[in-house]
Amino acid sequence: MSQIMAKREKISKRILVIGGDGIGPEVTRWGKRVLETVAEKYGHAFVFDEGLMGHAAIEATGNPLPDDTLEKAKRSDAILFGAIGHPKYDQDPHLKVRPEQGLLRIRKELGLYANLRPIKLFDELLAASSIKPEVLKGADILFFRELTGDVYFGEKKKADDGSWASDLMIYHAYEVERIARKAFEAARLRRKKLCSVDKANVLESSRLWRAVVQQVAADYPDVQCTHMFVDNAAMQLIRDPLQFDVILTANLFGDILTDEASQIAGSMGMLASASVGDGTGLYEPIHGSAPDIAGKGLANPLASILSAALMLQIGFQMQEEADAVLRAVEQVLKKGYRTVDIADKHTENSMIVGTDGMGQQVIQQLANS
């Protein structure tokens, strides 16, 4: 192995680790360990910083995104993030300083306009979904959800007398183009199929979306580009998920479809996501801070480990290294190891592991592969 590796270029990267709140720090620790193991195995130099964000940052500094964290973020090549959120804020909706503000601000400061969410099912976990295994087996979808435009950020108005309220659904051509290019580039490295989801039969903003995607598609003649209405897509995702490779869609539609698709995957505990723009990207599990199990050593670290793999693949173009992490996770699942959230009635008691047990298995598998 060392001989093969010796031929490869040694790459240096600076990575900011933000554990955040709840189970965030305990799972992110294993995502980081995986990156360290990859660096050692492949001879890369990964330098790590640590930063605070969310409730933990509010407690320490009064600010959900301290300047120190933001500065470190800007000089990093990528960010490995855990989760933020604390029950205290749910109980008091009027608190002005809130953990989520940290995440919204870092997205804005770094210009993270594209949210990527891979939905890939490990054969061993097929049974966990409410969808039939024969419908799901082999599903491998990569969502590109636009993250900074749409009706979520358009002008909001309401009548003083409460008789009406409105939100402006608006897209600029440049917003559609930049994420479309990223999605076509990704499709090129996959199965070369891109499905753009809109509601162009009814919405003007969707007609613009479709026109821009069609223009960009002309630059990628090797990628098969199709268009689908969002209501049909919501149905097709559960009817026949294997038809999809890359799905490109707007902020609102993507919010709905990615959550629907997470159920296809059976468990939120297995899904990673990336928020990227033209600079530093942020990689994180889609699960939340899960305060009810925080500190108990029960949380599933695989979504953080898969977030690290996504960073290797998308952020650093290290496909081989990313594949090695995926294979390690697959092997550990094949051996039968499960955290409680992905265990089922067929799981033997002796194979149920905690956060650290699962993390160690993956590291071992990865180091010895």
Q: Give the catalytic positions in this structure.
A: 152, 199, 231, 255, 259
Is 150 annotated as belonging to a binding site?
Answer: no
259 counts as binding Mg ion under rule CB under 5 A: yes
Residues binding a second copy: what is the number (CB under 8 A)? 51
Looking at beta carbons only, is 246 or 257 nearer to a second copy?
A: 257
- Which residue's structure tokens are 């990528």? 78
How far the first Cα of the chain sits from its last, in Å, is 10
CB 301 → Mg ion: shortest distance, Å? 22
Q: Does 164 bind a second copy (CB under 8 A)?
A: yes
Site mask for a second copy (CB under 8 A), range 216-255, x = bound: --------------xxx-xx-xxxx-----------xx-x
Residue 345 interacts with a second copy (CB under 8 A): yes or no: no
Judging by DSSP bridges, how do beta strands 281-285 and 272-276 pair with one another? Answer: antiparallel
| Nearest-approach distance from CB 149 to a second copy, in angstroms | 10
Is 295 labelled a binding residue? yes
Sign of CA dihedral 104, 106, 111, 117: negative
Element (H, E) at 286: none
Q: Check: CB of residue 184 under 8 Å from CB of residue 142.
A: no
Q: Is 117 annotated as a binding residue?
A: yes
Residues 42 and 6: beta-carbon distance below 8 Å: no
Q: How many CB atoms lie within 10 A of CB 204?
A: 11
H/E run at residue 315: none
The answer to the question of residue 121 lying near a second copy (CB under 8 A) is no
Give the nearer residue to Mg ion in terms of CB position, either 230 or 325: 230
When asked if residue 352 is in the footprint of a second copy (CB under 8 A), the reply is no
Nearer to Mg ion, 57 or 114 (CB): 114
Q: Within a 10 A sphere around the Cβ of 128, how many other Cβ atoms? A: 21
How long a stretch of residues is the chain?
369
For residue 260, give the nearest of 228, 232, 230, 234 by alpha carbon.
234
Q: Which of 170, 236, 230 minimizes the C-alpha distance to 201?
A: 230
Q: Which of 140, 255, 330, 356 binds Mg ion (CB under 5 A)?
A: 255
Contact 60, 334 (CB under 8 A): no
Q: Decide whether 56 or 233 has the Cβ nearer to a second copy.
A: 233
C-beta of residue 332 within 8 angstroms of C-beta of residue 301: no
DSSP state of 350: G
**Does 10 participate in binding a second copy (rule CB under 8 A)?**
no
Distance of alpha carbon 179 from alpha carbon 317, whole angstroms: 18
Taking CB under 8 A as the rule, does residue 131 contact a second copy?
yes
| Smaller CB separation from a second copy, 253 or 337 | 253
Residue from 8, 156, 296, 334 touching a second copy (CB under 8 A): that is 156
Residues forming the site for Mg ion (CB under 5 A): 231, 255, 259
Residues forming the site for a second copy (CB under 8 A): 130-132, 135, 151-152, 154, 156-158, 162-174, 199, 202-205, 207-208, 211, 230-232, 234-235, 237-240, 252-253, 255-260, 262-264
**Binding-site entries for substrate:** 107, 117, 145, 231
